[in-house]
Amino acid sequence: MKNNSAIQEFILVGLSSSPEYNMFIFGAFSFLYAAAMVGNILIILAISICSKLHTPMYFLLINLSIINVCPISTTVPKMLQAILAQRKTITLSGCIAQVYLFLWALGTELLLLAFMAFDRYAAICQPLRYMVIMKKEICIGVMTGLWLFGAINSSVHTGLVLQLSFCDSNIINHYFCELPPMFKISCSDTSLNESMVFTSAVIIAVGSCGLTLTSYWFILRAIIRIRSTEGKKKAFSTCSSHLLVVSFYYSTIIYTFLRPASAYSLEEDKVIAILYSVVTPVLNPLIYSLRNTDVKEALIKLIYQCWIFKKY
């Protein structure tokens, strides 16, 4: 599909229009971007080289780390480049690419978090059948399906954006091309776009959240039945990190995309977007590594091997 918009270049307002804050924003987001990239890549490498971690749970964690790299790499480098160059423009094709890649990662991560909750349900509530339920072929098949579903969902929204016209204003009040601020400046009827965003949010975000909460309801019931205090602590420890990520992530996504267009507050949405597009990719590696002994051991082993390799 081809966009017939008269405007072929947009201006991204960014997080602040005040030049005195730009260097602080540049430094803060450079640090967050570096932390997210290093943390997620270390987890991918640590799990890959440690045979002990070649289990369904850590296979899903690798996919989560890969997904975490996508949204922050899609949005932050362009923002940092705009601050340095003092040129806040982005081409229409670049904007469309941001929309597609960001929505692909967003939708896939929501579905993956639900699948990770089911994995914890199977491990705690069906321990004797766990390796049958979560066998390698099933995990690979489900993950392939999740990536494909995320790509199809993103393609639908991107295709609908391509049908919009932008003729009155080219100023996007955001630090990247996100759907709500793009709808605000379109001179076309965006009711279909908004309806599809709402429908997608209900199916993917609310549906995934419902499946996750259902899994944790069964997990909580199983944990309560455990007689051993030590067993309860271990079960809670296994699930608490995932539940923390889920509650943080779902709440911001649902709040952003389930509101009617008339209720959008672009300044508020920029802050919320930072939480699910920048902060979450930084927090995920910390939560999963600091609260997981096996991952910590694998990371120490990886760092030690890198140090030995560098030494010799």
Tens digit of each residue's pLDDT (9 = 90 or more) over 127-185:
889 989 999 999 999 999 999 999 999 999 999 999 988 877 888 888 898 888 888 88
Predicted pLDDT at 16: 73
Give me the domains of the chain, ranges plus CATH numbers.
Answer: 9-311 (1.20.1070.10)
| Banded pLDDT at 234 (limits 50, 70, 90) | low
Pick from 56-70, 201-215, 276-290: least confident: 276-290
Mean pLDDT of 23-48: 90
Predicted pLDDT at 302: 77
Looking at the predicted structure, is the pLDDT value of residue 66 above 90? Answer: yes
Looking at the predicted structure, is the pLDDT value of residue 48 above 90? Answer: no
Looking at the predicted structure, is the pLDDT value of residue 107 above 60? Answer: yes
Give the Cα-Cα-Cα angle 235, 240, 243 (nearest 5 degrees).
125
Looking at the predicted structure, is the pLDDT value of residue 1 above 60? Answer: no
